[in-house]
Chains A and B, each alone.
Chain A
Amino acid sequence: MTEESLITNEMRAAIGKEGEPQTIEVDKTAIRWFARAVGHTDLVFYDEAYAKSKGHRSIICPPGFLGHAVHTPLNPSDIIGNSVRRPPALPGLEIRRIVNGGTEFEYYGEDICAGDVLKSVTKVADLRERTGTLGKMLFLSTETHFYNPQGKLVATERDTGIIY
């Protein structure tokens, strides 16, 4: 039995392609807010003097936080309201409903601190389809690299969105 694929040839051709680079600001208040939302208790995420006493340039990003993309009305958000990760366009892809399938972070030993301005580049790593509990599902995997102003890779985020 052959079923119509959710993945068009144009979408398949986007695998490996990169989207537009995004400017990411790592803001002090944003770090604190994220740390509070998680429930972190380490002052290194809240108190600049404390963070400096531990050898950091300023308060540092908690695990899983890599700042926010600079939003303007000309840089619209995606379906979840976010614009940090900006994969290339996937012609034919209609995202009506989405759940998160997984997230992975990789760090390279560099502090990422309040005041840093990073560049992020997102590529489509993989597209797969499967039928499961939510019906016919499309798994969109992306890989986002974050670079500091010196061009050094400071973090990689890998995400899988489940579109159904």
Chain B
Amino acid sequence: MAEQVYYEDVNVGDEIPKLVKNCTTQQLVMWATGSGDMYPIHYDKDFAASSGLPGIIVHGALKNAFLGQMLHDWVGEKGQIKTYGCQYRGMDVPNEDIICRAVVTNKAQDGGLNLVELDIWTEKACGEKTSPGKATVVLPSR
């Protein structure tokens, strides 16, 4: 795990360490059973094609969970995720990079909590943002 990040060390405009993922179809099946989302567009290419899709697509909620992993690893054991979420604007497919990124957009102390707001998103290797969203995390103070 990375070193603990503190509120004082974070500035608006900072980018946090990115997380690069690349899903095999096996990972999608693991996710399907782990999350309870057994909808066949994520493992049955004939079903996906008959649904008007280009082929098997990565679960949106898995991309959301990847963003959650990036945030969890960044806030460290003394930090907390308060809210995070994203929209699924573009489809991702197996065996292509899904790059999770985040930039700090605001800092505020509220109710004794050190809150940091971020724009979060996944993007493809070509730079297309497929899952834009926002997060608010709580960081410890030095």
Contact = CB atoms under 8 A, between A and B. Distances in A.
B41 A99 contact: yes
A106 B84 CA distance: 7
Interface in A59-102: 62-65, 68-69, 77, 79-84, 97-102
B31 A37 contact: yes
What range describes how many residues of B lie at the interface? 35 or more
Contacts of B127: none
A37 B85 contact: no
Report the contact-size class of chain A (Cβ under 8 Å from the partner): 35 or more
B38 A63 contact: no
Contact of B83 (A79, A82, A106, A164): A106
A41 B60 CA distance: 21
A42 interface: yes
Contacts of B51: 97
Contacts of A30: 34
B22 to A, nearest CB: 10
B8 interface: no
A63 B73 contact: no
Contacts, number: 118
A54 interface: yes
Contacts of B82: 106-107, 109
B37 interface: yes
B84 A105 contact: yes
A104 B69 contact: no
A82 B38 contact: yes
Contact of A100 (B31, B52, B61, B68): B61
A54 B4 CA distance: 14
A77 B81 CA distance: 30
A37 B34 CA distance: 7
A52 interface: no
Nearest to B35: A34
B138 to A, nearest CB: 8
B60 A103 contact: yes
A40 B30 CA distance: 13
A62 B69 contact: yes
A145 interface: no
Contacts of A104: 83-86, 133
A1 B41 CA distance: 34
A105 B85 contact: yes
A96 B37 CA distance: 16
B83 A107 contact: yes
Interface of B: 1, 21, 27, 30-31, 33-39, 41, 51-52, 59-62, 64-69, 71-73, 77, 80-88, 133, 138
Interface of A: 30, 33-34, 36-42, 44, 54, 62-65, 68-69, 77, 79-84, 97-107, 109, 134, 158, 160, 164
